[in-house]
Structure 1
C-alpha cells in the first residue's frame, strides 16, 4: 500500500485569494504564515491557515453563490458545529469564529480548528493500493458512524435546526424549485424524477433524528492507519428530519464497479472490498433497527438532489460567475445522475 498522506492543500487558485491582513486583524489568532487551498469539492471553498502554533480551516461560499437562495450558509454551518459541541458530540472540528461582515474578505466565512488525519479523495485513493479488507472495514465504519449520528439525542438546542413535520415533501418541492431556477437545458429525465418524487411521497416518518445530509468518504477525517473516523466535516445542510433521507443521500454517492465513469469519479466506493449499495442499506437496517423497505424512494431523491447541486454549479459557470474549468462539463453529470434515477425507478433496484 502506498504511503498514506494527510489531506494536502495546494496553492490558492487564481481569483479565490484571501485578504490575509484583514483576516489577521479580525481573527486575532496571531500572524498567518501561510494560506493554502484544499482542492476537493465543487461547492464551498476551503482554506488552510497556518499560524505559529496551530492550523485552522476557513470555509467560505464560492464566487457567485449569492445567486443561490438559501445555499452556502456559513453562519448556519458554524452554528451547527457549536450546537454539536454543546451536545457533547466529539467527531467534529472545534468551531473558532464566524464572520458575517463582508468587508473583511468580501463574503461571510467561518473558521475551525484543523483535525489531523486522512481524507480519501476519489482522485487519489485509487492510486494508494488500498486493500479489500481496508475498504471493507472503512465502508462498514461509515455506515456505523451514520447510525451513531442518528442515535444522538435530539436535545432542545439541536431541535431548533429543523422542522421534521412535512420534511420530505418540503425537500422534494424545494429542490425542484432550485432546479428550475438553475436550469440551462431541457432534460426530460429531471422532469420525470421530480414527478415521481412528488407522486410517491412516503408517509410521515415519526422517527426524527439529526441529519448530516452530505455523508460520504471525502467528508470524514480518518486516523492515520485508516481504521476509524476521527471527525465528520461539511455540516452546511445538517437538519432534523427523516433519517432515511440521510441514507438515501449517501447511497446516491455510492458508486459501484459497474457504474458509469462519471459516478465513479465522485467517490471511491467502487474499489474492491466496499459494501454494495444494497449491503450499505442492509447494514444500516441491522445496526439501527430501522425499516428500509422504501429505501428506493430515498435513493432516487438523493440522485435528484445531487443532480440539482451539479446543475447549480454548472449554471454559475454558464453565467460566467466562476471561471473554474472543472465545471465546464458538469451538464453531463446532471444527465448521468438523472438517467440513473429513472433506471432505478424502472428496475426497482438500488
Structure 2
C-alpha cells in the first residue's frame, strides 16, 4: 500500500530552505541522525509551509511560517511545538516534536521539526487504486466525525494544556477577532462578508458559553488527517495544530462542516472541496451533526451559527492569503484564485443564514 502514502515534490520556487544551515541544525539538535539531507515539500498547505526531510533512513517533517507572512499570531511555531510536546503523551495521533528554534539566522524564521507519520492523506480527488465504494465512503465519514468526538473527550488538563486558551468568552472573541482580521487584510468590497459578520455579531452573545470547553483543533478536515493505507477508515495521525486551543467544541464541529461539500452544493463550491466529501455513501452535514451529538451528548441546536461562522472564518483566511499574494509577498500562483473563494464562502454563509439550515 506504499503507493497510497502521501507524496512529496520538489520545493516550490521562492520557498527554498538553506540546505547547509538546516543540516547543521538537525545534526546538532536530533540525536542519531546520519547521512546527507534531502529536502522535499508536501503539496497543498495554504498557511504554514511543510517540508519532508530525509536524513539517511530517517524521515522528518519541518514546519515554518510562509515567506512574507503578515499574520504573526497565526504562525507561532513555538506554540505549536509546545502543544505537540504535551499532547503527544496522551494522544499519539499527534506527531512527536523533535526540535525547535527561533534563531532567524538558520532559515530566516522560527521553525520546528517533528516525526513523520506515514500514511494516506485525502485531498480533493481519490487516489487511483483506493476503494471508496458507498459503504467505505460512509465509514470514512463516520471516522472523521468520530475522531473529532474523541479529541473533544480528551482530558486536556491532564496533558498540561489547561493554559492553552481562555474558554470564557471564546465565541465572542472569535467573531470580533476574525472580523478585525478581515478588515486588516481587505482588498475588495464584498458585501456578503460584511453581511455575515453582522449576522454573527447579532447572535454571538446568545450562543456564547453554552457548549462548555474542550481541546479543539480548529482545522479538522481530510487533508489534516493521516489514514492507514491498509484501512483508510482508520485515522493514524492528526496534523496542523497551529490553531488549536481550549474553546467551544462546537466551533470545531462547525469548521468540519464548513469543509464538507455535498452532492447538491453548487459546482463552484465543489471546486473548493477539502477532500472527497460528496462521494455516494458519504454522510450529509446534517447526518454528521447528528452523529456528533450522539457521540458526545452535546446539544447541537445552534449548529447553524457555528457553520456560518466557520465559513466566514475560512473566507477570512483565504482573504489573508490573497492579501499576501496581492502584496507580492508570495509567488505561489495558487493564491491568485483565493479571492474567488472569499466570495463563494461568504455567499454560502449568507444563503445558509437566510435559509436557516446547514443543508444545501
TM-score (norm 2): 0.93
Does structure 1 conserve the Cα–Cα contact (< 8 Å) formed by 2:211 and 2:298?
A: no
Question: Could you list the runs of 4 or more consecutive aligned residues of structure 1 that deviate by over 3 angstroms after TM superposition?
Answer: 29-33, 123-129
Alignment of 1:333 with 2:335, yes or no, is no
Measured against aligned partners, the alpha-carbon deviations of 1:84-128 in whole angstroms (never above 9, x if no partner) come to 024x21111111111111110111111111011110111454885
Deviation at 1:280, TM superposition (A): 0.6
Match of 2:326 in 1: 318
Q: What secondary structure sits across from 2:212 in the alignment?
A: coil
- Indicate the residue corresponding to 2:311 in structure 1: 303
After TM superposition, list the pairs within 5 Å mapping 1:140-155 onto structure 2: 140-155=142-157
Contact residue 55 and residue 114 of structure 1 kept, 8 A? yes
240, 256, 274: which one aligns with 1:250: 256
What corresponds to 1:22 in structure 2?
A: 21
Structure 2 counterpart SS, 1:315: helix
Are the counterparts in 2 of residues 95 and 111 from structure 1 also a CA contact under 8 Å? yes
SS of 1:146 mapped into structure 2: helix
Q: How far apart are the structure 1 equivalents of 2:334 and 2:130?
A: 23
Q: Provide the secondary structure at the position in 2 that maps to 1:47.
A: strand
CA distance in 2: counterparts of 1:126 and 1:217, whole angstroms: 17
Q: Which residue of 2 aligns with 1:228?
A: 234
Structure 2 CA distance for partners of 1:216 and 1:240, relative to 1, 3 Å: same
Q: Label 1:128 to 1:293 Cα distance change in 2 as closer, same or farther (>3 A).
A: same
Deviations 1:267-320 (A, max 9, x none): 221122211100110000011111000000000000000000000000110111
Structure 2 CA distance, aligned partners of 1:199 and 1:101?
44
In structure 2, relative to structure 1, the CA distance for the partners of 1:203 and 1:49 (3 Å cut) is closer
TM-score normalised to structure 1 length: 0.95
Q: Secondary structure at the match of 2:103?
A: coil
For this pair of structures, how many residues does the alignment match? 347
> What is the distance in 1 between the residues matched to 2:88 and 2:194?
40
For the residues of structure 2 that align with 1:324 and 1:343, how far apart are their CA atoms? 31
Match of 1:68 in 2: 71
d(CA) in 2 for partners of 1:206, 1:304: 20
Q: State which of 178, 187, 211 in structure 1 corresponds to 2:216.
A: 211
> Structure 1: which 5+ residue stretches go unaligned?
none
Mapped to 1, the partners of 2:35 and 2:128 lie a distance apart of 37
1:147–1:287 contact (8 Å) kept in structure 2:
yes
Q: Aligned residue for 2:54? A: 50
Cα-to-partner distance string for 1:150-177 (whole Å, 9 max, x where unaligned): 0001216211110000000001111001
Which residue, out of 104, 107, 111, partners 1:105?
107
Alignment of 1:93-172 (within 5 A): 93-125=95-127, 128=130, 130-155=132-157, 157-172=160-175
| Distance 1:221-1:75 versus aligned 2 partners, 3 A rule | same
Query: Can you list the C-alpha shifts for 1:133-162, whole angstroms capped at 9, x where unaligned?
Result: 221111100111100000001216211110
